[in-house]
Amino acid sequence: MFYYLNGVVAHMAPFLAVIDCGGVGYACRTTNNTLSHLQKGKPAKLYTHLNVREDAMELFGFSTENELNCFQLLTSVSGVGPKAALSILSAATPESLAMSIITGDEKALTVAQGIGKKIAQRIILELKDKLAKGQIAPGGESYGGTGVTVIPENKSSEAAAALAVLGYSQSEIAAALKGIDVDGLALEEIIKQALKRMVKN
């Protein structure tokens, strides 16, 4: 229904930002990461997700499309609701979250308030499985019919797999990684640089 809101920050509270668009204040549930980019009285653009339930409608807003993508991915995991997803994305950037999923780092997820070991394990298992079922092979090969993606253990392939978790296609990932100093940079920095390139495009 809403792709984004472009207006002025009217009010901020924990996990909440109100964006005034033409005299109408839209209450957006959000993360600490997004709130850190906002200032009351200043212009803001939030990418949104409308969550419709039988008893309520809630609007969620994020400062980047990557954070929105991660929110939608997390809430697709069984047992992970919007509140848990906001908690995770308040403790992790989209880049570090994708890296945690690819490397199986459940401890990085349990740093978020209210996220225990079992939920962290389920997130990693289900999202890795989605990556596999999509037959996304970071090395540029597709393993049809197996339902399993083979991910070589090097920074280039791990970065590609993390970007795939964020919803980018193989061609977009290959173009974004081209020319980045994969050997000389940390994995998270490789992901950040690739994301900057894709946002510019």
Q: Can you tell me the mean pLDDT for 114-123? A: 94
| Top-confidence residue, 189 or 34 | 34
Q: What is the rounded average pLDDT for all residues in the chain?
A: 84
How far apart CA 16 and CA 14 sit, in angstroms, is: 5
CB 89 within 8 A of CB 80: no
Asked if the model's pLDDT at residue 184 lies above 60, the reply is yes
How far apart CA 149 and CA 101 sit, in angstroms, is: 14
Question: Regarding the domain with residue range 77-131, which homologous superfamily does it belong to in the CATH classification?
Answer: 5' to 3' exonuclease, C-terminal subdomain (1.10.150.20)
Residue 124: Cβ within 10 Å count: 20
Please list the residues that pair with 50 across neighbouring strands. Answer: 59
Q: What is the pTM of this model?
A: 0.76
pLDDT > 70 in the chain, percent: 87
Q: 2-60 has which fold?
A: OB fold (Dihydrolipoamide Acetyltransferase, E2P) (2.40.50)
CB 46 within 8 A of CB 63: yes
Count of CA atoms in the C-beta half-sphere (13 A) of 167: 12
pLDDT digits (tens, 9 = 90+) for 125-168: 888 777 655 533 333 333 333 333 434 457 788 888 888 877 78
Domains 2-60 and 77-131 equal at CATH topology level:
no
Give 2: exposed, middle or buried? Use CB within 10 Å, 0-12, 13-18, 19+. middle
How far apart CA 68 and CA 89 sit, in angstroms, is: 10
Domain positions in the chain are 2-60, 77-131, 153-197
CB 161 within 8 A of CB 151: yes
How far apart CA 198 and CA 46 sit, in angstroms, is: 18
pLDDT for position 132 = 58
Ramachandran sector of residue 140 (left: φ over 0; alpha: ψ -120 to 50; beta: rest): left
pLDDT digits (tens, 9 = 90+) for 35-53: 999 999 999 999 999 998 8
